[in-house]
Chains A and B, each alone.
Chain A
């Protein structure tokens, strides 16, 4: 047997490379089937991996779509700084659409109560961005292992003109064939890393040496104990509430959302290797650190039906 033939017969694709190949295929399919896609970028690790995958799919050319950030105004300053630095480095276009603008215009409302989350207010802001820029496809970094309703969502997930998801009326998705046909005003959310787990994402970040914000690594931070979790505190409106004691602890974030709804975990993990070891040993799911999903059993399904990612 020749050397080439021998290496072909022994060929084996690792699971990370198989997942990468699937994600690249999905991204190119969207670029080909839609007029105006955009990639939802939050500065979190999943969207950073999405950017890394888009580089693989389209370089040495530019992305055939812009990045879109729905800025709640509640972001960690570190995540925003990272976002701007990354966009600058790769030279791609970033559109920022602000929840505060929508609230000022009366098109979105703050949740009632003294410490509102802006999770719900993201929905009209996103839908407004879709209308303004006439986006017909939005890439998101959601994964099916995150939550039960997501486990049943398609990779191409259709939304009507109100941005709503109908879980009982989803198109069958077979082989690697994606049906992106849509009418004017309809749009889809596309999840190229649907089949990845939290562990896969971390391993891929390590394998590909992808830069991520320092928030994910162990650091000293002021936190308070709230609902049994370490909640970061910062400038108003994220200061400590009455009766809460500010403690400086060694923590990191497993997931980075809004400051108002992301809890930190005690962790000495200072390197990607440490994080991977920690994720492998973890006994709580990643979304357990997201207080927004705990409201009721079907919280995610309800928000998705309204147009949430």
Chain B
């Protein structure tokens, strides 16, 4: 396999090379972080694709490879089973399935990547939603022989529902369709047609073969008709800095830093992670729910002061005035506040066998706040393959998704999920089992 030297990434994979990637210390300290989601089943070549990314970026070590090889031999597999590198639990290896989200890590000199590797089948929708909640980008695999199938639609819907900003459609196994341009273009057109119904802003299509490596790390010489980047090149360069909201300052207070010492007698720092927007020393701020206003006196990390805090930094904010603020409160700007209210509509993904029923009370966790709520109404359940809305639904079962109205015991300070994934999301907790049973994306106030 030869590669186009013009566009190929700087690093040529060579499994025999006894040296690592050329990290210079300065470059490493200047890398950023991309979290992406892969969804699909073994049949799509997902494990092969992840295996190749890890192996070509030298993120799989020799002893891990040996362990997978010897396990393959003892299982009687004919060739090295790449899934053994990724399937972590005994039950998964024994049954040859992926049960849970597995997190994988690799880095190139440009970026560090966190892969949330999710199982693809419908019974694992909740696992995919979990992996999707923190992802900047989703990879959807399509088998070039089969084109857009039901699973593709389901994964695209979840990508859109969880508002993952970037989507890469990997049209895989191109080697099995003779690298045919028409096949690829038909799949691309099919996908674009149904994806028009979703809110996904940035979609990139890449024809590839994970098995042979074409267009994974290096550009393929088998598909001269394709002018775009290889997958790794795209992952390294996709612009993610603009994904964060720098406009609407939101700071949920997590913890009050209060030293019991003479030296810091008057120190009272509000610890938390910036959810969105930028906070600057001197900014006029307001604390919710009290509505008390003050100015930012200092912003510290571990006792060192900085002048500005950006998302998702974890800092301590000190205010000029001694106002009463505690965990669960929100610091924002007087002229830019989140919605405050107790009657909220949200899209809910149900995550447990015991169905969600209207009228039942649950605990919810929203930012650093905890409240109780009652399920007031289930407007419809949505069929994630057809997008059909079933308005007669009376409950939500495991892996089902619907639009729900809740009423909370106290006001929440929230934004629509489409504006902010942190202040726009909450989890639902069962009060008997303490389990996390639902994930919710806020639409807005109940009308």
Contacts and interface: CB of A to CB of B under 8 A. Distances in A.
A32 B255 contact: yes
Nearest to B425: A175
A271 B102 CA distance: 34
A149 B77 CA distance: 22
Given A172-B436, A173-B130, A179 B103 contact: no
Interface string B56-78: 00000111100100010000000
Contacts of A298: 90
Interface string A1-26: 00010001101111111111110110
Given A168-B99, A174-B130, A207-B29, 20 more contacts: A11-B241, A11-B310, A13-B310, A13-B313, A14-B31, A18-B312, A19-B33, A28-B314, A60-B264, A61-B267, A148-B87, A149-B89, A167-B100, A172-B127, A173-B436, A175-B133, A175-B421, A179-B365, A281-B20, A284-B62
A285 B129 contact: no
B88 interface: yes
Nearest to B100: A152
10 contacts: A15-B31, A21-B273, A28-B255, A56-B302, A61-B261, A61-B267, A150-B88, A195-B103, A280-B21, A301-B90
Contacts of A195: 103, 105, 114
* Of listed B71, B105, B258, residue having the most chain A CB within 10 A: B105
A181 B241 contact: no
B32 A14 contact: yes
Interface residues of A, number: 73
Nearest to B365: A177
Contacts of B313: 13, 17, 21
A18 B425 CA distance: 20
B107 interface: yes
A56 B20 contact: no
A203 B302 contact: no
A12 B61 contact: no
A55 B302 contact: yes
A182 interface: yes
Contacts of B324: none
Interface string A232-255: 000000000000000000000000
Contacts of A16: 29
Interface stretch (B36-44, B375-383, B427-435): B427-435
A18 B255 contact: no
B278 A57 contact: no
Contacts of B439: 172, 174
A176 B67 contact: no
Interface in B87-116: 87-91, 93, 99-105, 107, 111-112, 114
A276 B25 contact: yes
Contacts of B351: 172
B395 interface: no
B327 A177 contact: no
A205 interface: no
Interface of B: 18-21, 23, 25, 28-33, 61-64, 67, 71, 86-91, 93, 99-105, 107, 111-112, 114, 126-127, 129-130, 133-134, 241, 246, 254-255, 257-261, 263-264, 267, 271-273, 278, 280, 301-303, 308, 310, 312-314, 327, 351, 363, 365-368, 421-422, 425-427, 429, 434-436, 439
A199 to B, nearest CB: 7
A244 B254 CA distance: 56
Q: Which 4 A-B pairs have the closest CB atoms?
A: A56-B302, A24-B314, A148-B88, A15-B33
Interface string A189-230: 000001101011001001100000000000000000000000
Contacts of B101: 152
A57 B314 contact: yes
Contacts of A285: 61, 63-64
Contact of B278 (A8, A170, A297): A8
Contacts of B434: 179, 181-183
B254 A32 contact: yes
A171 B23 contact: no
Contacts of B429: 179, 181
A174 B427 contact: yes
A259 B445 CA distance: 60
A276 B23 contact: yes
Contacts of B64: 285
A81 interface: no
A4 B278 CA distance: 11
Given A174-B133, A179-B365, A4 B280 contact: yes
A93 interface: no
Contacts of B127: 172
A144 B103 contact: yes
A151 interface: yes
Interface in A37-87: 55-62
B63 A288 contact: yes
B89 A282 contact: no
A89 interface: no
A61 B264 contact: yes
A110 interface: no
Contacts of B91: 167-168
Contacts of A19: 33
Given A28-B314, A168-B99, A297-B71, A283 B18 contact: yes
Nearest to B427: A177
B20 A203 contact: no
B301 A200 contact: no
A151 B29 contact: no
Nearest to A173: B130
A203 B436 CA distance: 35
Nearest to A23: B314
A29 interface: yes
Contact of A58 (B28, B63, B100, B257): B257
B100 A32 contact: no
A9 B310 CA distance: 11
A297 B67 contact: yes
B427 A151 contact: no
A6 to B, nearest CB: 12
A31 interface: yes
Contacts of B272: 28
B61 A14 contact: no
Contacts of A277: 23
Nearest to B327: A32
B253 to A, nearest CB: 10
Contact of A145 (B105, B363, B366): B105
Contacts of A194: 103
Interface string A117-143: 000000000000000000000000000
A14 B29 contact: yes
A308 to B, nearest CB: 15
Nearest to A179: B436
A172 B132 CA distance: 12
